Amino acid sequence: MYSLEVLDSSTAKVYEKMTFPLFRPRLQTLDPEGMTVAVGATDLGKPIGLVLAQIQPGAISTEVLSLYVSAERRNAGIGTALLNFLEEVLLKRGCRSLSMVYMTGKPTTPALEKLLEKCGWSSPTPRMLICKSDRRVLDAPWLKMYEKLPPSFTIFPWCELTNEERITIEEQQKTDPWIPEELVPFLHEEGMEALTSFGLRYQGQVVGWLITHRIFPDTIRYTCDWVREDLQKTGCLIALHAKAHKRQAIAKIPKAIWTVPLHHENMVRFEEYEKEYLTSMEQTKGSFKILDTEV
């Protein structure tokens, strides 16, 4: 018979292989009252399952980061028990909703979606394309086509953005918003990869950017890119990517990954067009659940 418990840094180490490498450091600093919550399942002292979640600022909503049950113990209700136990813990912490984003096309996807339905989560909805590439993307004709821009455009390292330019962007966004909320560059600067993060000036004014992160020694994530809407048909956003991919190749960093929100239809069509130059293209879905506060 298995048992469930809220983990802390002293009990979580044996569960490290049950979550993604990106999240494993969180298990080393777990505090039962902290913003990261981990619930483990054990049988005779052996770990058999883990659910890891992050309470969002404001402590009202929580994102499930990962859910894992050992292969030999699946289809026995352990995943359901982990999610239900997590709900109880979060309700006591004042949380009111749960959300989860997951990759489709995996062998475990049907089982996960069945589990979410069983636990009363919303019907999954498509969210993102996940695109991965290697050096072959450098052969894409549009990268070469927009490699050089007219003299009115200047590409510069994002780390050279001046304080005056930063203030101007912030003030413009307050009075006449021109940047989608999730693509404001300052939200993504922490830990950015300076080698491949660039800004774009048009007639001396900052009008675009590409912010990247080195998520693994061999992988650059293209995290946030945007160009002012009236300039998007000039190909200047592609020029930013061309610059970054070339820089990445020179530095011998072989892999790149980026996401495309499905509601950006033009970007989705472009990714479908460049599919032959990618190593893979996958899709994510999202689901949520409003917690029953009366239980």
Give the model confidence (pLDDT) of 149-186 as tens digits. 899 999 999 999 999 999 999 999 999 999 998 899 99
Residue 204's nearest CA partner among 237, 242, 162, 145 is 162
pLDDT of res. 293: 63
User: Is residue 173 classed exposed, middle or buried when 0-12, 13-18 and 19+ CB atoms within 10 A define those classes?
Assistant: middle
Cβ–Cβ < 8 Å for 187, 211: no
Ranges 239-243, 244-248, 291-295: which has the least confidence: 291-295
Contacts of 66 (CB under 8 A, 6+ apart): 18, 19, 20, 23, 50, 51, 52
Ranges 123-132, 247-256, 270-279: which has the least confidence: 270-279
Assign 294 a pLDDT band (cuts: 50, 70, 90): low
> Looking at the predicted structure, is the pLDDT value of residue 116 above 60?
yes
Give the model confidence (pLDDT) of 244-273 as tens digits. 999 999 999 999 999 888 877 777 777 777
Mean pLDDT of 120-132: 92
Q: Which fold has domain 135-278?
A: Aminopeptidase (3.40.630)
pLDDT of res. 249: 93
Q: In whole numbers, what is the pLDDT of the chain averaged over residues? A: 91
Q: At what angle do helices 109-118 and 78-92 cross, to 10 degrees?
A: 50
Give the model confidence (pLDDT) of 78-101 as tens digits. 999 999 999 999 999 999 999 999
Mean pLDDT of 41-64: 92
Domain ranges of the chain: 3-126+285-290, 135-278
The answer to whether 3-126+285-290 and 135-278 have equal CATH topology is yes
Q: Which fold has domain 3-126+285-290?
A: Aminopeptidase (3.40.630)
Assign 148 a pLDDT band (cuts: 50, 70, 90): confident
| pTM as predicted | 0.70
Residue 93's nearest CA partner among 157, 52, 35 is 35
